[in-house]
Amino acid sequence: MKNHCLRQLRSRLSKTGRLDLSLAPYISMTFFQDTSPGIGQLIPLLVQFFSDKPSSVFVVGGYLRDCLLSRAPSSDLDLAVGGDVQAISRQLADYLSASLVPLNPQRGVFRVTSSGSSHGVKSELLPAWSIDLKGLAGEITEDLAGRDFTIDAMALPLDELLKDTWAESIVAPFRGHRDLVRKSNHAVA
């Protein structure tokens, strides 16, 4: 079924010259609803955690690509976060009973991680996972413009991730979602 849907997406792209993501939610919602352990099970907790924060939060990187391609759940998630990313990362680690690892504090990059064993009630039921948080200095489009390749220059507001219409909310100023369907990749101009 997945391959059929991807062929349909490619077919619609080639006929219209534009990417029609109307099938993407059908393809990928199974990814979020997968009952096997993985980072996907943390998504509702993350949405809840960030719901009372004034900062913008976007899913970026490989997890978003995997969602669009309906690949198996990943054990890591990349988030672009507005506000004080160090304080937010610390709060998130506490909230998830996980560890905080400063990857590059000068550039606003932190990792919240769990080994999956005895790291608290919320984490102990999952295999090892990590969430990398990077601070946003401005708008998400500015952040995406600083990426190397178009398929890496896509973002999705975190709170949209669990909605049936999530694919309509993808921010892709360099058309990375189109390149995914075409199985091509280009440098961000």
Query: pTM of the prediction?
Result: 0.76
pLDDT of residue 157: 95
CA distance 87 to 89: 5
CA distance 62 to 79: 11
pLDDT of residue 115: 61
CA distance 113 to 178: 32
Residue (of 55, 61, 20) closest to 39 by Cα position: 61
Residue (of 88, 71, 69) closest to 132 by Cα position: 88
Q: Decide if 170 contacts 140 (C-beta within 8 A).
A: no
Q: Decide if 124 contacts 116 (C-beta within 8 A).
A: yes
CA distance 61 to 91: 22
pLDDT of residue 129: 85
pLDDT of residue 19: 42
List, in order, residues 6 or more apart from 58 with CB less than 8 Å away: 79, 80, 81, 136, 140, 155, 156, 157, 158, 171
pLDDT of residue 38: 64
Average pLDDT across each block of 10 residues of the chain; the chain has 189 residues. List them in order. 44 44 44 51 89 90 84 84 95 93 95 64 61 92 91 92 87 89 87
